[in-house]
Chain A
Amino acid sequence: MEATREIYWNVGHGVVWGMYLFAFIAIGICAWGFWTRLPVYRQGKPLSRLDRLPERIALMVKAMLAQSKVLRVLDPGALHALFFWSFALLFIGTLLIMAQADFAAPVLGIVFLKGAFYKLFSLSLDVAGALALLMLGGLMVRRFFVKPEGLQTIRDDYVVQALLFSIILTGFFAEGIRMAATEIGANPQLARLSPVGLLFGQMFLGMTPAVLSQAHKATWWVHFFLAMGFIAAIPYTKLRHIFTTSANYLFADLGPKGALATINLEDESVEQFGAASIKDLTWKDIFDADACTSCKRCQDRCPAYATDKPLSPMKLVQKIGEIARETPEANLCQSIGEDVLWSCTTCRACQETCPASVEHVNKILEMRRNLTLMEGSFPGDEVRTAIGNIEVNGNPFGLAYAARGDWAEGLDVAVMESGAEVDVLYFVGCYPSFDKRNREIAANFIKICNAAGVRVGILGKEEKCCGEPARKLGNEYLYQMTAAENIELIKAYGVKKIVTTCPHCFNTLARDYQDLGLDVPVEHYTTYISGLMRQQRLKLSPEPFEFTYHDSCYLGRYMDIIEEPREILKQAGGQITEMTRSGLESFCCSAGGGRIFAEEKIGSRINVARVQMAKETGAPLLVSNCPFCLTMFEDGIKTGGVEGEIRVRDLAEMVAERLAG
């Protein structure tokens, strides 16, 4: 006898009408739920997120089917992925049965669920069901018993987990009863291919056919209605993420990381800068709230949250959704809280990790823009002073702009004004120009370039702050003001290539300035040095040292430059011990987002936390690649009381001390 089974056994083929009716009702309720949500999204400003469609679809399929984003954190990503795959298989199995019983057989007279294929079908669905149940169990234990810090459990979680659990369970019961009645005795070999069903079926062996039939009918209908309930519940519970998160993969930001819309300050029709209310955000900003699965991965990585600031990127995103749905007229920044908005260091850890492709940082920046540009508000008076200084003197310290190039006195470096021929322009930035400790970075970088025979030029007193901290504080006006002056100069000198030692300058010149018309290749000194070494222009004589390495946010997460600096340090003789949080998972130094100017008044100190992580590696040396990080760690070592236990140095210093010849 060929392996197969009777579909609609016991319930009878007559159920199809009722079944489809209820199915349509369930789908209708589901569709209605999403439909009524559309006006919520539509409150936002338009934004095109369907360009480059094939690329987007490919991204979506990969992230959905391969669960690639979910799996970046294995616990509990693996549970979710395995559950997803097995549940998807069960869903496909159900569709196959539908196609077989209600279409292929009655309309075309074809039976494909038979023989070897049926055996495979039967076995894989059974295994999938078991796996789904197991994974679900694991997820439940995690949520209800392990209760990881910060995980919020709401009504949805009970509903969803109970629904899924009972759907799978009733499925197995229905299968078991059917097998007890028709398969276990009649075709034990086939029954063995449904191992879980067999297990359930054994409970019912020995019951009379009449009882079995009643029990089966009841279980079948319960299973069916639970499944319909599942479909209907999707938009009203966290289950909505099945659609919204998938859609968010499609709507993902394909621009370079950290791209922020450049405001047209010349457009006189614009009266509102930044986001004052929900309608000043884009529809995608609102939609993100629905795509968020409350997985809290962003929150787990947020340096502000970790140090008891009022900011949680997860809650911020959800709050935006809440405002959009419930109080759309509300003042956005006040509802969320200024302290929340100012706490962000724009480290991008949230956005990098988010398995739902939520974009946190730009929302915060749009709200900061409103605070700064429309209300003239600042996170503190010290920041106001720094911003005022940039406006007047082109540097946050309020030091004479004419002294900007003084650090280079006596070094082999040309000032562009003099008309010298150079290979690269070194865009120095404020900290290496003025800050005593950071001047070491500048001087050592020049030393390295000299050793490689590279002719370096600087703008000297003509250079202005790149504008990055101002921009990240929301001050687009000041940013564009200083940027325009820098760009004009760089263009006037016909610069062919720019190198920076600051990752903030690097991102700003390489990416942000493009919108303002600068089109010159820009490199960070780490990749530049790495290139010189590859071309054999720069030779090091290694000298052993042990170190741990800090990936600055703007070099690592923003620019994906992770390996090159490590490689340079290894070639310089370094023996690395990694911190637990490194690479894309690195933990901010606290200085990003303009917070370098701000006193950290709330919670504990981020830089101290990071220095502590470095100390835990046991390495006596922390190497960084950013003037802001260097400043923060010098301070963190002092305030953290670990002086003498660990030192911080910049990569340029390590290299310059090991130049060959």
Chain B
Amino acid sequence: MLIVVCIKQVPDTTQVQIDPVTNTLVRDGIPFIVNPYDTHALEAALQLKDRFGFRVAAISMGPPNAEATLRKALSLGVDKAILLSDRVFGGADTLATSNVLTRAIQLLNKQEEVGLVLCGKQTIDGDTAQVGPGIATRLGYTQLTLVDRVERVDSLSRKIRVRRKLEGRHEIVEAPFPAMITVVRELNQPRYPTVPMRLDSADAEVTVWNNEVLKLDVATIGLKGSPTWVSRIFSPEREKGEVVGDGLNDPVAAANLLIDKLLSKDLIAV
């Protein structure tokens, strides 16, 4: 059985600045990384591989240089890596992206039955969290989003039970295969590639599928297939912080207040 992990190459946004004049992202001299959430999805897939012997495929839609992202996945231990790259895919929004990824997964499913599709909960450059659910919908898979723990996988009855991290609560849900799962960072600690794997991955094959392979209607992909239109990107005015409690005279109460505040804004978790 195959687990497909959708990954994306993104600029390291901790360093991205917005050009105040043009209101666009300044990407000059910014290194690319694997979308951090996706690294947790990869890790989850690899752990299932280690435990149940599933095979893992990583797919990524992007320009030719996104191959580096797939090599990274190979160095971590995925069995195959497929780059979905074609000029006509360019400029895609989440809808068009979902269309491409969905078709790729369908093709993979013809080669080897797909049991799970794993995605990061969102990307750090788009922050929409739409692509995973978009794929699930188009594939007709059950979708389990915001997973922070895999409770149980039953490879015989082909079911997966997971815990979802919701605002202020958890939810434990179960779904039959095939299912699409999006993961949050708390799920696991991604492994670090070993050197033998890195060296092997340098020679491993990254298959490239263009639209001649996917055969999608060009009206549904790329810029043409993207109804979303970005009107403006800008840095928000920073809100002035508020003073919480009296740290000088009652530091314990102030700390408690602060913790409650952070909890209520879901900035920290218990």
Stretch at the interface among B90-98, B109-117, B186-194, B212-220: B186-194
A151 at the B interface (CB under 8 A): no
A271, A387, A461, A477: most-surrounded residue (chain B CB, <10 A): A477
| Closest residue of A by beta carbon distance from B200 | A268
A461, B196: Cβ atoms closer than 8 Å: no
Minimum CB–CB distance for A491 against chain B, Å = 23
Tell whether A477 pairs with B29 under 8 Å between CB atoms, given A393-B12, A400-B15: no
Q: Which of A358-396 contact B (CB under 8 A)?
A: 372-378, 381, 384, 387, 392-393
- Across-interface contacts of B28 in A (CB, < 8 A): 402
Question: What's the minimum C-beta distance from B101 to chain A, rounded to whole angstroms?
Answer: 25
* A374 near B15: Cβ-Cβ < 8 Å: no
Q: Which of B29, B189, B191, B198 contacts A401 (CB 8 A)?
A: B29
Closest to B199 in A: A265
Are A374 and B194 in contact, CB atoms less than 8 angstroms apart? yes
The 0/1 profile, CB within 8 Å of A marked 1, for residues 177-211 of chain B is 00000000000010111111011000000000000
Residue in contact with A400 in the complex, picked from B29, B189, B195, B196, CB distance below 8 Å: B29
Known: A381-B189, A393-B12. A374 touches B196 (CB 8 A): yes
Identify which of A271, A376, A378, A399 contacts B15 (C-beta below 8 A): A399
Task: Compute how far the CA of A398 lies from the CA of B29 in the bound complex, rounded to whole angstroms.
Answer: 14
Q: Are B14 and A477 in contact (CB under 8 A)?
A: no
Q: How far is the CA of A187 from the CA of B86 in the complex (A)?
A: 112
Q: Which chain B residue lies CB-closest to A392?
A: B31
Asked whether B257 is an interface residue with its Cβ less than 8 Å from the other chain, the reply is: no
- CB atoms of A384 and B29 under 8 A apart: no
Cross-chain contact of B33 among A268, A374, A377, A392 (Cβ < 8 A): A392
When A381-B189, A401-B29, A461-B29 are in contact, do A392 and B12 touch as well, CB less than 8 Å?
A: yes
Q: Do A378 and B30 touch across chains, with their CB atoms under 8 A apart?
A: no
Q: How far is the CA of A374 from the CA of B193 in the complex (A)?
A: 8
- How many angstroms from the CA of A476 to the CA of B30 in the assembled complex? 25
Given contacts A265-B199, A392-B12, A402-B29, contact A378 B192 (CB under 8 A): yes
> Which chain A residue shows the least CB distance to B195?
A373
Does B30 lie within 8 Å of A376, measured CB to CB?
no
Q: Do A376 and B194 have beta carbons less than 8 Å apart?
A: yes
B14 touches A398 (CB 8 A): yes
Output the nearest chain B residue to A375 by Cβ-Cβ distance: B194
> With A and B bound together, what is the CA distance between A399 and B14 in angstroms?
8
B77 to chain A, nearest CB (A): 10
CA distance A375 to B195 in the complex (A): 9
CB distance from B7 to the nearest CB of A (A): 16
Q: Does A273 contact B (CB under 8 A)?
A: yes
The smallest beta-carbon distance between A415 and chain B, in angstroms, is: 14
Task: Give every chain A residue within 8 A of B191 (Cβ-Cβ).
Answer: 376
B194's contact among A373, A381, A400, by CB below 8 Å, is which?
Answer: A373
- Residues on B with C-beta less than 8 A from A381 are 189
A387 contacts across to B, CB distance below 8 A: 192
* A398 / chain B contacts, CB cutoff of 8 Å: 12, 14
A392 to B14, CA, bound (A): 12
Q: Mark B25-56, 1 if CB is under 8 A from A, else 0.
A: 00011110100000000000000000000000
| Binary A-proximity of B104-127 (CB < 8 A = 1, otherwise 0) | 000000000000000000000000
B32 and chain A: residue at smallest CB distance: A392
Complex formed: what's the CA distance from A398 to B15 in Å?
Answer: 9
Are A376 and B12 in contact (CB-based, < 8 A)? no
Residue of chain B at shortest CB distance from A374: B194
A392 to B29, CA, bound (A): 12
Nearest A residue to B189 via CB reads A381
Closest to A381 in B: B189
Partner of A265, one of B29, B31, B193, B195: B195
How far apart are A589's CB and chain B's nearest CB, in angstroms? 27
- Nearest chain B CB to A361's CB is how many angstroms away? 21
Within residues 449 to 473 of chain A, which ones have a CB less than 8 A from any CB in chain B?
461
A384 vs B36: C-alpha distance when bound (angstroms): 14
User: What chain A residues lie within 8 Å of B196 (beta carbons)?
Assistant: 271, 273, 374
A477 touches B198 (CB 8 A): yes
A399 to B29, CA, bound (A): 12
Q: Which chain A residues border B31 with CB–CB below 8 Å? A: 392-393, 401
What distance in Å separates the Cβ of A200 from its nearest Cβ neighbour in chain B? 68
Return chain B residues, CB-CB under 8 Å to A400. Answer: 15, 29-30
Within 8 A of B (CB), among A287-311: none
Cα separation A397 to B198 with both chains bound (whole Å) = 24
Identity of the chain A residue whose Cβ is nearest the Cβ of B190 in the assembled complex: A384
In the bound complex, residues from chain B placing their C-beta under 8 Å from that of A265 are 195, 199
- Return B265 CB to nearest CB of chain A, in Å: 24
Please, what's the 1-or-0 string for A268-279, where 1 marks a CB less than 8 Å from any CB in chain B? Answer: 100101000000
Pair A376/B193 contact, Cβ less than 8 Å: yes
Cβ contact within 8 Å between A273 and B195: yes
Residue in A closest to B16 when the chains form the complex, CB atoms: A400
Considering only CB atoms, which chain A residue lies closest to B191 in the complex? A376
Give the CA-CA distance A393 to B29 in the complex, in Å: 10
CA distance in complex: A655, B103 (Å): 67
- Which chain B residues lie closer than 8 Å to A268 at the CB level? 199
A534, B194: Cα distance in complex, Å: 50
Binding site for B on A (CB under 8 A): 265, 268, 271, 273, 372-378, 381, 384, 387, 392-393, 398-402, 461, 476-477
Ordered by A's residue number, 16 sampled pairs between the chains whose C-beta atoms are within 8 Å are: A265-B199, A372-B192, A374-B194, A376-B193, A376-B194, A384-B192, A387-B192, A392-B12, A392-B31, A398-B12, A399-B15, A400-B15, A400-B29, A400-B30, A401-B29, A477-B195
Binding site for A on B (CB under 8 A): 12, 14-15, 28-31, 33, 189, 191-196, 198-199
The 8 closest A-B pairs by CB, nearest first: A376-B192, A400-B15, A402-B29, A373-B195, A392-B31, A477-B195, A376-B194, A376-B191
Extra pairs beyond A392-B33, A401-B31 (20, CB < 8 Å): A265-B199, A268-B199, A271-B196, A273-B196, A374-B195, A375-B194, A376-B191, A376-B192, A378-B192, A392-B31, A393-B12, A393-B15, A398-B12, A400-B15, A401-B29, A402-B15, A402-B28, A402-B29, A461-B29, A476-B195
